[in-house]
Structure 1
């Protein structure tokens, strides 16, 4: 028999969608064979198939199923497929992944039913790759945020392989941390009223051999107050452009409690979960479900006959309560940024060129006669500006570097902000004689003299992709020296970043062998 861990949560088998029936777990591992769109919609609405990524994949496979069923009826076939797709996209209104999966598969319809199926199957493979990248990024961030000790992690609902094609999102990150030897215990919220945590997450953790305890949802705050939680990791069903996040009911309360106790609250979700057409969470439609899910469980009625119930399936956590949003492509820190720094509809944060230039002060004849010094103190003092600049660098270069090398001394400011935002480790390139132990060194010329940079020999690892960060790019000498330190360490230069570049001094030309990002350019 195939080991349980090897059974995919959802797949395609000779014209039929095959999925694990999550209603039967943990007592029975039962497979559904779905042959019609009506069966698929019922499976989604009854939560036999659930979890935002898995729902999106089910939507794509559903379009492929409909296209296969109707492909022989030329003329009416395409119309019937589009009607099925519309019904399918509305089956679960909160999870944006469903409409995303349906839309993507439907875009291939004119190429024939085989092209639709090929794209849907490609999405299964992509989901696995996407989740692996996201969980590594999230695990790296947790390790950067929490001291070196065995971790007590709390999670809510189910975000493991059952909720995806494979690997999982937030639960995937927990399993990655367990593989790294960092997990002491996982506190699993039971997740009322349908107990996805108690039934599904506990089952997955048990399969993986990771220590866990179940936690009554209403006891989560008490666990935090007792110092039993180092970090909270959850998934998401829809993320608005400002970072407001819809997830399983109870998530908002966890975020409030985590904020009260100073505990990192991290959301792990694929890029397909972002809905950039929604400015904030007020536009997220929250699905209300049947009273019977609250007034009883299974065949057992626990409330008086005729009792009504308030049963929203999701709630919306405001961005300011979220420490970080982690996807396969980026780490965004909405709780630390002012409105406007998160990606706009185009997916990038604009460079504040004019705002930066207005905040610079020119000081003539400093530090020597004939030199015009650009003072960045006003830029650093502007509320929210540093976070905005770090966010822009992270958006432009995300996934391209493993470590940051900040140049003394004002390069430390942007370097530290960028390291905090991205969860990447930070190393320091300092002036001669300031670092203990063996160092690599590189001399360089300034527009007003010469100097030397040094980095400890243990600071950079061979093969690391290192992003070098400084404040001002003039002749390029400082960043050129930083790049030489990276190379002599056996690492690789991923790129060079400066807050301000002075035109006319040849700096960017001197560094033409590297990728250079300057956030603001002003005349020398």
Structure 2
């Protein structure tokens, strides 16, 4: 059996087209950057380590394509590298691998290829080491007899470049005679477990059974699972794990039944810049993946769909994260508190959403504690990230004809649900005469509520977006900031995924004047994106709930960071006129 899923041959990336499995094993030969990107987006290549290495090969192709007479057009190569890194946002390995090889671009395509081939060889060694450490841990936790192990999605050589992570651990255990049977989740909606994992386990001669995802918890309850082994697409500093959708529910069921839940991944999957799982951008995929399969419709035409590709499992539910370095995160199973060899934020709390309640007026400031508690939690989190320093920034949730908003002059790092003020949407005036003042930017929030269907607003001061907006602003004038050619633009809900125009408002000393400008603009531009900037005064985002508003603000900051780090030129200008400015 050829254990490699990725190789380089005569200027082409060669791989198995995973869309054809298990019935057809067909080869893909990718010779252009667009072909590599399309293969990653279409899941012809999938799995965090595999798409990382594929992305690195994409940079090799880009470097060769943009080299004339031995001179590399570095700007064009770096633009292609940006497009590759943005092909799938959740898996950290893609951006990591592209970043690693792009440092070699100036030295030419041969240097980029050499670095990528080193990465390819490292991946096989890394996976085998992580798998061996994980197998050792499983036998330590479950020492008595051959094991019944449950796994989810596909984590074998198809998802890496060789051997595999969680499936690699199954292979090591099988070599030791320690596997009785593997229970394979089919992994809806694209059936990576049914199509790919069963194929790999059969190939390796490991006994297994296929089950629907919904049967996993019952299998645990009826004593058919001794351990759960899964992979990861990203692991944050505090041990939160992004993985294929359905992983979180497995972790909850495993905790309920006292079953070890072990994550096996390369060290490159750990993201030292991301404190908690709240920071992870979860990719949502096409509705067609849910409404039908194999060309056969399974839902009525026009059915709306929720199709996240990943979920985030709190570190407290993860028995251990194992990499090539051994156990790097381990939860205290008696308390559920994570223990990690890296310092970082506290345990992940799933995003809080709030269903608006209609108010009839006269509501006391704390009459509805739920939005206040959610607001305080997110404010503290954004304070820790430096996006709401000191008393700066404010958050609100609409409650019918009123809104609950953070109070004025309060440190966002110490905010509680009792530090909120309820205001009327119509005129921004406080409802209760208790002496507490709402945030000074209340009129910005109420303008968004009056002009849009927003149910929550976040106003923050993240560094990259604030700096870029300030540079693009003009005294006394409305300007625009155009962002182009980043996949993350989709996260802002723009009609055109290739470009988005974000209004930048002048920062009047009289804040109600800013609010009036915003309301007038939104009324005149009903298709405007749900984010805006105020020159020198941060950014504002809104959405159907608090989580969505926060996510959009985070997405805008991520886009602006990409622009700043890559030096890409963006269009700034007053109203209809644009001015090209190069970033340094």
Is TM-score (shorter-chain normalized) higher than 0.5? yes
Q: Secondary structure at the residue paired with 2:89?
A: coil
1:242 — aligned with what? 238
CA contact (8 A) 1:243 1:342 kept: no
Q: Deviations over 1:163-208 (max 9, x none)?
A: 1110000001001100100000000000000000000000000111
Task: Check 1:229–1:149 CA distance in 2 against 1; reply closer, same or farther (3 A cut).
Answer: same
1:179 — aligned with what? 175
TM score, norm. by length of structure 1: 0.64
1:228 — aligned with what? 224
1:305 — aligned with what? 301
In the alignment, structure 2 segments of 5+ residues that lack a partner are 345-584
Residue 167 of structure 1 is aligned with which of 129, 146, 163? Answer: 163
Q: Secondary structure at the residue paired with 2:203?
A: helix
Residue 269 of structure 1 is aligned with which of 262, 265, 268? Answer: 265
CA contact (8 A) 1:242 1:342 kept: no
CA contact (8 A) 1:155 1:189 kept: yes
1:107 — aligned with what? 103
Q: CA deviation at 1:341?
A: 4.5
1:372 — aligned with what? none
Runs of 4+ residues deviating >3 angstroms: 73-76, 337-342
1:204 — aligned with what? 200
1:61 — aligned with what? 57
CA contact (8 A) 2:239 2:340 kept: no
C-alpha distance in structure 2 between counterparts of 1:89 and 1:78, whole Å: 16
Residue 195 of structure 1 is aligned with which of 186, 191, 212? Answer: 191
Q: CA deviation at 1:74?
A: 6.2
1:91 — aligned with what? 87
TM score, norm. by length of structure 2: 0.57
1:343 — aligned with what? 342
Q: CA deviation at 1:8?
A: 2.4
Q: CA deviation at 1:7?
A: 5.8
2:553 — aligned with what? none
1:214 aligns with 2:213: no
1:70 aligns with 2:66: yes
1:131 — aligned with what? 127
Task: Check 1:266–1:38 CA distance in 2 against 1; reply closer, same or farther (3 A cut).
Answer: same
Q: CA deviation at 1:333?
A: 3.7
Q: Secondary structure at the residue paired with 2:143?
A: coil
Q: How many residues align?
A: 341
CA contact (8 A) 2:252 2:317 kept: yes
Q: Secondary structure at the residue paired with 1:175?
A: helix
Q: Secondary structure at the residue paired with 1:148?
A: coil
1:27 — aligned with what? 23
Q: Equivalences for 1:260-409 in 2 at 5 Å? A: 260-336=256-332, 338=337, 341-344=340-343
Q: CA deviation at 1:219?
A: 0.4
C-alpha distance in structure 2 between counterparts of 1:16 and 1:72, whole Å: 19
Task: Check 1:246–1:177 CA distance in 2 against 1; reply closer, same or farther (3 A cut).
Answer: same
C-alpha distance in structure 1 between counterparts of 2:329 and 2:51, whole Å: 26
Residue 153 of structure 2 is aligned with which of 142, 154, 157? Answer: 157
2:141 — aligned with what? 145
Q: Secondary structure at the residue paired with 2:281?
A: coil
Q: Deviations over 1:85-115 (max 9, x none)?
A: 0000000000000001100010111222111
Q: Secondary structure at the residue paired with 2:239?
A: coil
Task: Check 1:149–1:102 CA distance in 2 against 1; reply closer, same or farther (3 A cut).
Answer: same
Q: Secondary structure at the residue paired with 1:32?
A: strand
Task: Check 1:341–1:223 CA distance in 2 against 1; reply closer, same or farther (3 A cut).
Answer: closer
CA contact (8 A) 1:56 1:97 kept: yes
Task: Check 1:260–1:63 CA distance in 2 against 1; reply closer, same or farther (3 A cut).
Answer: same
Q: Secondary structure at the residue paired with 1:247?
A: strand
Q: CA deviation at 1:316?
A: 0.1
Q: Secondary structure at the residue paired with 2:342?
A: coil
CA contact (8 A) 1:276 1:344 kept: no
C-alpha distance in structure 2 between counterparts of 1:48 and 1:23, whole Å: 5
